[in-house]
Amino acid sequence: MKEKTYVEDIDRNIYDFKDEEKDAYKIKAGLTPEIVEQLSKEKHDPAWMQTFRLESLQIYNNMPIPDWGPSIEGLNMDNIVTYVRPNTKMKAKWSDIPEDIKNTFERLGIPQAERKSLAGVGAQYDSELVYHNVRAEVAEKGVVYTDMESALNGEYADMVKKHFMKLVRPNDHKFAALHGAVWSGGSFVYVPPGVSVEIPLQSYFRLNAPGAGQFEHTLIIVDEGADLHFIEGCSAPKYNVANLHAGCVELYVGKNAKLRYSTIENWSKNMYNLNTKRATVAEGGTIEWVSGSFGSHVSYLYPMSILKGRGAKMEFTGVTFAGKGQNLDTGAKVVHAAPDTSSYMNTRSISKDGGISTFRSSVVVTKEAEQAKSAVSCQSLMLDSISRSDTIPAMDIRTRKANVGHEAQIGSISDDAVFYLMSRGMSEEDARACIVSGFADNVSKELPLEYAIEMNNLIRLEMKGSIG
């Protein structure tokens, strides 16, 4: 009898460790105006932000839960703690951070990565940043990389107020409203005109508290002609209660500027990941998204790009791996709102062991976007018949002067490809392993080497079993 080739689950042991809870402050579970007011007070918000939070809460309460995606029935906001402040203030030296928290980030390899290959690091633990640092030579160029709270209350307050949740408005969807009400932590980045940050900045988000939510806000402004690569990583230990991540990322890419935003998302399997990411791109600017979605129980994640200026470009490269107990609904959205804009989406998804992966996308080309070009390519690999893989791509084209193409494929491992590799001396098992590993190459080759290795370790596509 032919034994099925077995593809291992992602090895999550390196992420699945817990610190004892020694929080300085934990707000009570649930979501009420009183809780939001209390949170705002704890964070020393300016008055406008407190009003903004309360208005967002009202919007949240009036909006329906999405009826088109994975079920989030297991998420009860009454049980979610929206603010957990760790037992430390933000530091600029790892040695100043409490031992347990520092150990957590060391096990995740963040300080090592900072030394080797990053221009700056922000590390968030539950609801607040515990570490933030940027290399002196980068800061000297005028690059601002700080936590959101410092930016909100410091010299960049006006800039934050001007941009905060203007791209993702609270009435965009229910969880954007939730974010508006209870956001905490995250990073603010400003790259001045013409400055090229040659090595990446990274923010890492770690959620340690069981039953908690993480709602970090990332605001990045890359000014005219500037260039930045920003990396975002996230993980959490697994608990038997639901955790929630409803972060928000707003990216402003200026004229002829370029921003690459890379994410390796590896939340634990009790996590509801309802994240919102959006970029607006001015004339001649470029936004590149590189996205690996591996963790979470449920994900709703579709980075959106608004190509507002003539000649603006967007590229989205993504891989999603859905294993047992996971329902990962991922993809991307793009709006071509100016002439000569172009977009390219290239995604891969793998489903196994009962996992569900859905690729969902939208390409909107407005009447103004003459000579717009868009191409979407999505490929899905099904590794067994108890899993699911769906593709739901939508296109809305409103000008004749556009060129839009779309292709999608769903299938299993090709016998022809296995035969080809075997004819070159590989065993069948190795051939299948090679094909499955190579399937995610679109993302790994777009990441800096260290992160590509991490991603490959993460996937750990080990093939077992005799081939019959």
Binding residues (CB under 8 A) for another protein: these are 67-68, 360, 362, 367, 380, 382-385, 387-412
CB of 222 to another protein, least distance (A): 27
**Secondary structure letter of residue 73 according to DSSP:** T
- Pick between residue 29 and residue 392 the one whose CB is nearest to another protein: 392
CB of 372 to another protein, least distance (A): 9
Taking phi first (over 0 means left), then psi (-120 to 50 degrees means alpha), and beta for anything else, what does residue 340 get?
left
CB of 266 to another protein, least distance (A): 25
Residue 245 has a CB neighbour count (10 Å cut-off) of 25
| SS3 call for 23 | coil
Can you spell out the DSSP letters for 160-178? Answer: HHHHTTTSS-GGGSHHHHH
CB of 351 to another protein, least distance (A): 8
> How far is CA 467 from its chain centroid?
37
CB of 468 to another protein, least distance (A): 15
CB of 402 to another protein, least distance (A): 5
- Pick between residue 282 and residue 372 the one whose CB is nearest to another protein: 372
Whole-angstrom CA distances from 73 to 66, 209, 330 are: 11, 21, 19
CB of 256 to another protein, least distance (A): 27
Q: What per-residue string of b and e applies to 288-309 under the rule 16 or more CB within 10 Å gives b? A: bbbbbbbbbbbbbbbbbbbbbb
> How far is CA 349 from its chain centroid?
16
CB of 400 to another protein, least distance (A): 4
Q: Tell which residue, 338, 334, 328, has the closest CA to residue 346.
A: 334
Contact status, residue 417 vs residue 385, Cβ threshold 8 Å = no
CB of 215 to another protein, least distance (A): 22
- Pick between residue 124 and residue 391 the one whose CB is nearest to another protein: 391
CB of 69 to another protein, least distance (A): 8
Residue 158 has a CB neighbour count (10 Å cut-off) of 8
- Pick between residue 16 and residue 353 the one whose CB is nearest to another protein: 353
**Identity of the amino acid at 37:** E
Q: What is the 3-state secondary structure (H, E, C) of 270-319?
A: CEEEECEEEEEECCCCEEEEEEEECCCCEEEECCEEEECCCCCEEEEEEE
- Pick between residue 187 and residue 387 the one whose CB is nearest to another protein: 387
Q: Tell which residue, 86, 75, 84, 82, has the closest CA to residue 34.
A: 82
Q: Tell which residue, 48, 18, 32, has the closest CA to residue 235.
A: 18
CB of 163 to another protein, least distance (A): 23
Residues facing residue 199 across a β-bridge: none
- Pick between residue 349 and residue 444 the one whose CB is nearest to another protein: 349
Q: Tell which residue, 264, 213, 265, 217, has the closest CA to residue 242.
A: 213
Is 347 buried (19+), middle (13-18) or exposed (0-12) by CB count in 10 A?
A: buried
Strands 258-266 and 227-235 come out as: parallel
CB of 358 to another protein, least distance (A): 8
Q: What per-residue string of b and e applies to 389-413 under the rule 16 or more CB within 10 Å gives b? A: bebebeeebeeeebebebeeeeeeb
